[in-house]
Structure 1
Amino acid sequence: MILVSMFSSLDQQDNLLKTCCFKMKIDTSLTMPQLPEALSQAGLQFSVATEEDFDEIMAMSQDIYGGLDYLPTRYTSWLQETNRTVILARKQGKVIALESVCVIDDGETMLVEGLRVAPQERGKGVAGVLLRFCSELVKSKHPEVKVTRLTRDDQLGPKDFQKYRIITKQGILLVRFRAEDLKLRLSELGLGGDIQSSLSTSSSIPPPVRLDHTAIHRLYLTTDLMQGVLPNATIIQDWQPFKPLPSNMAILLKKDIDWMVDDVFNPTVASLCTFPFRVPIGDDWYYLNIDMFGKDLDLARQQFLCHLQRHTATLNGHVMCQMFLDPPLWKPMAEFCHNNLSLELVKEYTEQCVVESDVI
């Protein structure tokens, strides 16, 4: 058997510890346990990602997610998160894969994110080796970790059901539009300017309410009001599944998120919207992510309109908006986007699946 070691020498290990691990608070002094012979002969070397690796990572993952890659805008912040580990796999000195693992849920859950493998190395078992390495690294640092969670948007096969339990599913609605066209369309519908005031006069339903930090804490942590709204008691924010715990809320409230509910005293629908960020598909292209919870179509439409109006009002250019919602709402919401708002449907129905497995 051949051991896959993280570093070729103690000197290299000490240098890496000095340059990047103090900031990330990651213990990289681990020895990788023995791997199956077929995988150990892959000749991979592992290291903690640094800011200097950015260009090589971007070159390795060019065109991933159809040009909607979120990593360029988040890479630097990922390196600064103390509960996150970003590991690179190299082959003959070149970066061929990346994996990020984040410890959440009071230290009980290892959240796997950001996996990418260079095109020429796919199908060779690299992802499995890298994930195994990251798991061992996290378990050594956080022995209380019990489960691994990840979020997928592809179809789960029989082998997946042998490895994972499904926590929840959401439908994925992806639409595209020009910000200028949407502003004009909303104005034509009488929803320009202060859209919440417009909704209050044009509908018998009270307008949605944006939440401040105090209201978020009250709703999600000190009451049971969200239990019937959240899918399987899970807050899913931009592909990250969280249990409603104080430690997780501390993570979420550091992010730029627009929190909304229909009623602060008796919520039926809630939503979390990211602030728009640029994506590498082209110049003046932005991405907007909306996680919608609840089963009432009219209330979901209202919150969708409020998020769209608020977050595209100052934009010029193209917007890709991805909304995750209760699967039965997908078709009527897609029809509303096309027929009422003149938005282009980018792809047909797909699902976002949150799955987990026990850490052995």
Structure 2
Amino acid sequence: MKIENSLPCPQLPETPPQTELQFTVATEEDFDDIMAMSQDIYGGLDYLPTRYQAWLQESNRTVILARKQGKVIALESVCVIDDGETMLVEGLRVAPQERGKGVAGVLLRFCSQLIKSKYPEVKVTRLTRDDKLGPKDFQKYRLITKQGILLVRFCAEDLKLRLAELGPDIGLPGDSLPAPKPPVRLEQAEVLDLFLSSELMQDVLPNATIVQDWQPFKPLPSNMDILLKKDIDWMVDDASQPSVASLCTFPFHVPIGEDWFYLNIDVFGKDLRLAVQQLLCHLRRHTGTLKGHVMCQVFLDPPLWKPMADFFRQTLGVELVKEYTEQCVVESDVV
């Protein structure tokens, strides 16, 4: 299959017979149209404005637009990972007036056919969702893993003062055990040695999956090449025998306001004390110099969600934005 400037597709349900969808490869010139289409998505916390230009430069990624009568009405991004065996689907956008008409399904089918023609070795489609999965979903998808999502909001200057007030030995309320050793921030060579060792990480990574800012990767050399090109802080409690690992994405601006930032922290492991310690290290490192408001999204083992939420509210004094939700990584076979 080859994408031309525009390609016709099957008619959408409830769409006038004379109307067609055209698919085009996204370009830098489409940025304003895409932003207009997806305005106010995620309540103003959309990551796409910050990452769109970088997406266009990724050799293993294809960004496709759907147009109706020449107007951009939908976007889908597909990234080929896992040594070419997995098609990672992310970034779906559909214009408000076109939702519920089957646009997303048609666009996804087109993207699947396109990627399969370019990468015949692709075996599965993988995506990450944050809505509740029902019986119909499990007829289409297999669940790979899931993490609880903890979303909090705070003023960076206020948190800096609070952390200084609490001091370096802050821990869980009522915890009388000696403080663990300080977390280890990994260099790139250490990241490779550790995360490519299935024996060391088998009890840490959920279902042998590195989920970095909504993107699920198998711990393979080709995937580590992708991850190590990103601005990520990698941290563990012990580089020789880890129990908890965490990845922190550097803060980035979001459209909600000029002084608003987003911070994503992925935590793997089941030890609450070690998870708290690493989160505090990431927060000190990445919010100490910020000025403005921060939305911080923490992904962690579901049983850790409530005690971590209590720690954020009661000890750090930050605001919980929403109650428990889940990040679910699912996949289906490419046919």
CA distance in 2, matches of 1:35, 1:235: 37
Aligned-pair CA distance for 1:158:
1.6
Is contact 1:39–1:125 with CA below 8 Å preserved after alignment? no
Is contact 2:11–2:21 with CA below 8 Å preserved after alignment? no
Per the alignment, do residues 159 and 223 of structure 1 end up closer, same or farther by CA in structure 2, a change over 3 Å counting? closer
Per the alignment, do residues 39 and 146 of structure 1 end up closer, same or farther by CA in structure 2, a change over 3 Å counting? farther
Q: C-alpha offsets along residues 301-339 of structure 1, whole Å, 9 cap, x if unaligned?
A: 000000000000110000000000000000000000000
Is contact 1:229–1:294 with CA below 8 Å preserved after alignment? yes
Instruction: Please tell me whether residue 293 in structure 1 is matched to residue 261 in structure 2.
Output: no
CA distance in 2, matches of 1:292, 1:203: 22
CA distance in 2, matches of 1:190, 1:165: 45
CA distance in 2, matches of 1:85, 1:138: 8
Of 187, 190, 206, the match for 1:231: 206
CA distance in 2, matches of 1:343, 1:124: 40
Residue 246 (structure 1) aligns with: 221
Aligned-pair CA distance for 1:242:
0.1
Of 329, 332, 346, the match for 2:307: 332
CA distance in 1, matches of 2:181, 2:300: 21
Report the number of matched residues: 327
Aligned-pair CA distance for 1:126:
0.2
Query: TM-score scaled to structure 2, two decimals?
Result: 0.94
Aligned-pair CA distance for 1:287:
0.2
Cα RMSD between the aligned structures?
2.0
Aligned-pair CA distance for 1:130:
0.4
Residue segments in structure 2 that go unaligned for 5+ positions in a row: 171-176
Instruction: Please tell me whether residue 165 in structure 1 is matched to residue 142 in structure 2.
Output: yes
Aligned-pair CA distance for 1:157:
1.5
Residue 266 (structure 1) aligns with: 241
Report the 3-state secondary structure (helix = DSSP H, G, I; strand = E; otherwise coil) of the residue aligned with 2:316. Answer: coil
Per the alignment, do residues 334 and 94 of structure 1 end up closer, same or farther by CA in structure 2, a change over 3 Å counting? same
Query: TM-score scaled to structure 1, two decimals?
Result: 0.87
Report the 3-state secondary structure (helix = DSSP H, G, I; strand = E; otherwise coil) of the residue aligned with 2:201. Answer: coil
Is contact 1:39–1:129 with CA below 8 Å preserved after alignment? no
Is contact 1:301–1:333 with CA below 8 Å preserved after alignment? yes
CA distance in 2, matches of 1:37, 1:318: 42
Aligned-pair CA distance for 1:112:
0.2
Question: Runs in 1 of length 4+ with deviation above 2 angstroms?
Answer: 34-42
Residue 89 (structure 1) aligns with: 66
CA distance in 2, matches of 1:219, 1:37: 48
- Report matched runs for 1:1-360 at 5 Å: 7=4, 12=5, 35=10, 38=13, 43-191=20-168, 203-222=178-197, 224-360=199-335
Q: C-alpha offsets along residues 129-165 of structure 1, whole Å, 9 cap, x if unaligned?
A: 1001100110000000000000000011121111000
CA distance in 2, matches of 1:155, 1:294: 23
Aligned-pair CA distance for 1:191:
3.0
Report the 3-state secondary structure (helix = DSSP H, G, I; strand = E; otherwise coil) of the residue aligned with 2:331. Answer: strand
Is contact 2:12–2:102 with CA below 8 Å preserved after alignment? no
Q: C-alpha offsets along residues 163-201 of structure 1, whole Å, 9 cap, x if unaligned?
A: 000000100000000000001100110139xx9xxxxxx
CA distance in 1, matches of 2:189, 2:198: 13
Q: C-alpha offsets along residues 89-120 of structure 1, whole Å, 9 cap, x if unaligned?
A: 00011000000000000000000000010000
- Identity over the aligned pairs, expressed in percent? 78
Residue segments in structure 1 that go unaligned for 5+ positions in a row: 14-30, 196-201
Q: Which amino acid aligns with 1:358?
A: D
CA distance in 1, matches of 2:107, 2:14: 10
CA distance in 1, matches of 2:3, 2:21: 9
Aligned-pair CA distance for 1:71:
0.5
Per the alignment, do residues 127 and 288 of structure 1 end up closer, same or farther by CA in structure 2, a change over 3 Å counting? same
Is contact 1:6–1:45 with CA below 8 Å preserved after alignment? no
